[in-house]
Amino acid sequence: MRHALGARAARTTVATLLALASTVALAHEETGQAAGFLAGLAHPVSGMDHVLAMIAVGLWGAVLGAPAIWVLPVAFPVVMAFGGLLGLLGVGLPGVEIGIAMSAIVLGAMVAAEVRPPIALAAAIVAFFAIFHGHAHGRELPEGTSALLYSFGFVVATGLLHACGILLGVVHRWPAGRRAVRVAGGGVALAGLFFLWRATA
The gap from C-alpha 85 to its chain's centroid, in whole angstroms, comes to 12
Contacting residues for 57 by C-beta, under 8 A, at least 6 apart: 72, 73, 76, 107, 126, 162, 165
Q: Residue 12 pLDDT more than 60?
A: no
| Cβ proximity of 71 and 123 under 8 Å | yes
What global pTM score does this model have?
A: 0.78
Q: Which residue stretches of the chain are H helix?
A: 2-42, 48-64, 68-88, 96-113, 119-139, 147-169, 175-200
Alpha-carbon gap, residue 185 to 179, rounded angstroms: 10
Q: Residue 34 pLDDT more than 70?
A: no
Condensed to tens digits (0 to 9), the pLDDT of residues 92-149 reads: 899 999 999 999 999 999 999 999 999 999 999 999 999 999 998 888 877 767 778 8
Q: Residue 20 pLDDT more than 60?
A: no
Condensed to tens digits (0 to 9), the pLDDT of residues 60-85 reads: 999 999 899 999 999 999 998 899 89
Q: Residue 47 pLDDT more than 90?
A: no
The gap from C-alpha 40 to its chain's centroid, in whole angstroms, comes to 7
Side-chain-facing half-sphere of 3: CA atoms under 13 Å: 0
Q: Residue 4 pLDDT more than 80?
A: no
| Cβ proximity of 137 and 87 under 8 Å | yes
Alpha-carbon gap, residue 173 to 53, rounded angstroms: 22
Alpha-carbon radius of gyration of the chain: 24
Residue closest to 94 by CA, chosen among 139, 53, 47, 49: 139
Q: What φ, ψ does residue 83 adopt, rounded to 5°?
A: -60, -40
Condensed to tens digits (0 to 9), the pLDDT of residues 143-171 reads: 767 778 888 888 888 888 888 899 988 88
